[in-house]
Chains A and B, each alone.
Chain A
Amino acid sequence: MGAYLFRRILYGILVLVGVNMITFGLFFFVNSPDDMARAQLGLKRVTPAAVEKWKVERGYDKPLFVNNAVQGFAKVNETIFYEKSIKLFAFEFGESDQGRNIGFDIANRMWPSLAVQLPAFMIGLPIYLSFALLMAFLRSTYVDIWGVLLCVLMMSISVMFYIIAGQYFFGKLWNLVPISGYDTGFDAIKFLALPILISVISGLGSNARWYRTIFLEEMSKDYVRTARAKGLPEHKVLFVHVLKNALIPILTGVVALIPMLFMGALITESFFGIPGLGSYTIDAITQQDFAIVRAMVFLGSVLYIIGLILTDISYTLVDPRVRLS
Chain B
Amino acid sequence: MTHYRLDFLWSDYLVWSIVSAVIIYAWYVQKYPHLLSPWKLVVCNSRGMAAATVFLVFIVISCADSIHYRSELSVQDGKSVYSTELNSALDLILEPIKKNREKTYSAPFATHLFSKETVKNELGHDQRIFPRLRFGGTHLADPVADWLPDIFKKSLSGILMACVIWLFGFLVVLSVMSRLKKTPIKKLYASIWSDSSMSAFRAVCITIAIMLLIGVPLVYLASYYHVFGTDKVGQDVCYQALKSIRTGMVIGLLATIVTLPIAVLLGVMAGYLRGWVDDCIQYIYTTLSSIPSVLLIAASVLMMQVYIENHTELFPSAESRADIRLLALCVILGMTSWTGLCRLLRGESMRLRELEYIQAAHAFAVSDWRIMMQHILPNVMHIVIMALVMDFSGLVLAEAVLSYVGVGVDTSMMSFGTMINSARLEMAREPMVWWSLSVAFTFMLLLVLAANIFADAVREAFDPRLKAKVP
Q: Which residues of A are in contact with B by a Cβ distance under 8 Å?
A: 14-16, 18-19, 22-23, 26-27, 30-31, 35-36, 38-39, 152-153, 155-161, 164, 167-168, 216-217, 220, 260, 263, 266-267, 270, 281-282, 285-286, 288, 290, 293-294, 296-297, 300-301, 304-305, 308
Contact = CB atoms under 8 A, between A and B. Distances in A.
Contacts of A16: 290
Contacts of A14: 283
A52 B364 CA distance: 66
A159 B407 CA distance: 17
B258 to A, nearest CB: 18
A266 B405 contact: yes
Given A167-B427, A266-B405, 18 more contacts: A16-B290, A19-B287, A19-B291, A27-B303, A39-B305, A152-B456, A155-B393, A156-B445, A156-B448, A156-B452, A157-B448, A164-B424, A263-B292, A267-B405, A297-B299, A301-B290, A301-B291, A304-B291
A79 B365 CA distance: 53
Given A18-B283, A27-B303, A300 B292 contact: yes
A216 B471 CA distance: 12
Contact of B298 (A153, A159, A270, A293): A293
Please classify the interface of chain A as helix (H, G, I), strand (E, B), loop, or mixed, using the class held by over half of its residues: helix
B8 interface: no
25 contacts: A18-B283, A18-B284, A19-B290, A22-B288, A23-B299, A26-B303, A27-B299, A30-B304, A30-B307, A31-B307, A152-B452, A158-B420, A158-B445, A160-B420, A164-B424, A164-B437, A217-B469, A260-B292, A267-B401, A282-B405, A286-B406, A296-B292, A297-B292, A300-B290, A301-B290
Contacts of A301: 290-292
Most buried by B among A159, A164, A308: A164
Given A27-B299, A158-B441, A293-B299, A15 B290 contact: yes
A293 B295 contact: yes
Nearest to B406: A286
Interface residues of B, number: 47
Please classify the interface of chain B as helix (H, G, I), strand (E, B), loop, or mixed, using the class held by over half of its residues: helix
A160 to B, nearest CB: 6
A297 B295 contact: yes
B405 A285 contact: yes
A158 B400 contact: yes
B290 A26 contact: no
Contacts of B393: 155-156
B424 to A, nearest CB: 7
A156 B401 CA distance: 14
